[in-house]
């Protein structure tokens, strides 16, 4: 039986200069836990309460950082897309208001053989909002081929498009997705998007971050790091180094 579930998070600045969580609603396999985070951030961890997403499931997470709030969201473990009757859908909807910051740092999404997942992430940013967004996909578990995975990331800032991209891997994806111009045989792919108002006057410079990663300034106050790697561990190492570089202004 397919599962339909939406988990909701809302962070708000409290009267003491810190961040409260007036809304923290778990649903179905999406369990939300309040966790420690350095002040003034509020921390939330997404805990998978059951195997999901299975084919046919429709899952969603909505997170909003209200004006002046600081919110960081992580996950307790990787998400594994599993086979089932029909495609699964996973939607992430993020909103960051004026002077707020959201750090969206989940664990990897693993596309198991035989699965079919369509994942869509939409982000709405106020003009003074800050965003640190990481996503990582691993194509197949150890020793197996990948499932079918289609993702879309659409980010708008002050009502205008900042980034809108679609990626597809596995059965049914456009030809060449695993060729030298795309993955080149690598099994892990990820990106890091950092949006900061300071980048309007001092944008990051484009540069290579090793043989399979690149930092690109966007036409807006943002920097995008794209990377591929042989496995999840190596990919995380690349993105962690990139995060330190970008957040450090280097």
Q: For 132-152, give one letter per residue: b (16+ CB within 10 A) or e.
A: bbbbbbbbbbeeeebbbbbbe
Total number of domains constituting the chain: 1
Please tell me the predicted confidence (pLDDT) of residue 56.
86
Write out pLDDT tens, residues 22-76: 999 999 999 999 999 988 899 999 997 556 688 889 999 999 999 999 999 999 9
Mean pLDDT of 217-227: 94
Mean pLDDT computed over every residue of the chain: 93
Pairing of the two strands 79-81 and 109-111? parallel
Please tell me the predicted confidence (pLDDT) of residue 43.
97
Whether residue 249 is predicted with pLDDT greater than 80 in this model: the reply is no
Question: Which domain, by its residues, includes 27?
Answer: 4-247
């Amino acid at each position: 039986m397919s599962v339909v579930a939406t988990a909701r998070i809302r962070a708000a600045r409290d009267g003491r200069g810190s961040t409260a969580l007036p809304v923290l609603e778990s649903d179905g396999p999406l369990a939300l836990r309040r966790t420690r985070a350095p002040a003034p951030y509020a921390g939330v961890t997404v805990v998978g309460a059951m195997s999901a997403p299975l084919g046919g499931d429709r899952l969603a997470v909505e997170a909003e950082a209200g004006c002046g709030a600081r919110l960081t969201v992580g996950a307790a473990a990787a998400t594994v897309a599993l086979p089932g009757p029909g495609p699964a859908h996973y939607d992430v909807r993020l909103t960051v208001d004026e002077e707020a910051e959201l750090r969206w740092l989940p664990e990897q999404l693993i596309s198991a053989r035989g699965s079919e997942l369509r994942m869509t992430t939409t982000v709405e940013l106020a003009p003074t909002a800050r965003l640190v967004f990481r996503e990582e996909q691993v194509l197949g578990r150890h020793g197996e081929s990948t499932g079918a995975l289609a993702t879309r990331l659409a980010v708008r800032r002050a009502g205008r498009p900042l980034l809108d991209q679609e990626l597809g891997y596995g059965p049914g994806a456009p030809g060449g997705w695993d060729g030298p111009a795309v993955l080149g045989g690598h099994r892990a792919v990820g990106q890091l998007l950092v949006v900061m108002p300071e980048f309007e006057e001092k944008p990051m410079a484009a540069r290579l971050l090793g043989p399979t990663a690149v930092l690109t300034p966007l036409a807006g106050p943002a920097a995008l790091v794209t990377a591929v790697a042989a496995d999840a561990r190596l990919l995380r190492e690349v993105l962690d180094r990139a995060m330190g570089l970008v957040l450090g202004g280097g």
